[in-house]
Structure 1
């Protein structure tokens, strides 16, 4: 039986689209966003996927996370995949979903945690960049790495050019790693 996942996005949702289109071993039960106008929500709706959107403005982080948590549980979500979700989750939220949240990050972790990963890799003179899928913990980009893909840094690359190549690698890596993760992750009802 397929596992039910929820995907959190903040924008166009290109990684969410890759997860939906290459779903194997899991069903996308809900796509949720902190931005009600996120373009990825319309795409998910057009595919018949349930969506949830709520801005945290005016309700605070705890109130916002309580509502997103309730929506995920109501949809029967077992595992959360962050796909371009640009908010930091609270320690309490991570603890409630311990070991059941994964994220795609645009660097070869543990290098370049946080933002501006492509510019940092180019500035360091690295020969390769890439992406990592990891388990989300309370430490920013600090959980166990489940899979990585390398992308060469070419002479003359800008952060934007490198970002486009890394994004293509993310679209291939994330569905494969999520399939492996859901197959190996034991059910843990909340």
Structure 2
């Protein structure tokens, strides 16, 4: 965000980039032309620091790739939230947005899992923007002897007729940029 929510074998992952302590993998997703990615890095920080940044919906726009707007729509309880994100896309592709159910679980005392799934009913669609309604992913934060292992795994269909080759060509850049931004935030949080 390591566990596969699709029943894919782990060997199906292909390492696409390994730089600056960030590894990006991709693989085919069942019944889709669009690929799924997995990003992994280890950062010297705490579980709670990473959790706080990942769950700070209002500030995701400050580090999440191509996200110009982000907000907390609703806090259901301490472990369930609804997020809204707006993504700027290059012309001629229409901008995208999505509404996510975000659910936090604690598999054990050294890990936190944050599941992400669509919430297609709570907010109306915006004119001139394509609402992404088919996505699934998670964050997995795990304490290790070297620091906090951060895994983000995500599949998403951008909808609206964007060619799969175009989306798949950005499959490394998007999580790599986001992970480097997140790493900078975590490593420089006291500066």
- TM (norm. structure 2) is 0.29
- TM (norm. structure 1) is 0.29
Larger fraction in helix: 1
